[in-house]
Amino acid sequence: MTATPIRLLLVDDDPLVRAGLALMMGGAEDIEIVGEAADGAEAEELVRRTRPDVVLMDIRMPSVDGLTATRRLRGRPDAPQVVVLTTFHADEQVLHALRAGAAGFVLKDTPPAEIVQAVRRVAAGDPVLSPAVTRQLMRHAAGSAADTRQARARDTLTVLNDREREVAVAVGRGLANAQIATELFMSVATVKTHVSRILAKLDLDNRVQIALLAYDAGLLEDGH
């Protein structure tokens, strides 16, 4: 099988970390490292030149940090998927990156095989974020703005019809399309159509952002 390899860009200000990631990813036959960058500004230039499918992005860097770079990259018409690298589970910067369009995050001490798998999943369109971790992040960053955020999220969701709202909640619970189809008695193709419509109506980039919005609106607080 000669599938096109996943084009990957590595972004970290520590050359030793980049070297380790390159060594780790270099062993995967289906991944091609197209470049390495030391900060967000360099990453943006390399994305323009190399057109990667996935960017593995450190969150804290001098000059242009990972959050700013993620926001800029996800605003591009040919935006690559972004996986954020961090040293903390409950990191408010990670949450901001997810809201900006990152498809998930991995810890720097994650086993190599899991980081490789995360890149594969994101390239295939699957978020790298469990509902439990989403809730942990949200609780960490809740603070005094929670009520305002909930009201804003609920107002945003009013554009969805009842069926789309059900699908949005299921996405927020971390269910895959096949699981949603079984639970809501519809075909997988119909689920995909609903997800696409939800993304379009809410002007979102990916399923992670649907999950965050559902959580903001208080739709995942019923024990799911």
What pLDDT digit, counting tens, does each position of 89-147 carry?
Answer: 666 778 888 888 888 888 888 888 888 998 998 898 877 776 566 666 666 555 545 66
CA distance 184 to 181: 5
> Do residues 55 and 83 make contact, with C-beta atoms less than 8 angstroms apart?
yes
Please choose, from the candidates 50, 118, 106, 16, the residue with its C-alpha nearest in 3D space to the C-alpha of residue 97. 106
Q: What is the pTM of this model?
A: 0.74
Q: Supply the pLDDT for residue 143.
A: 56
Query: Residue 194 has which token pair?
Result: 């609903």
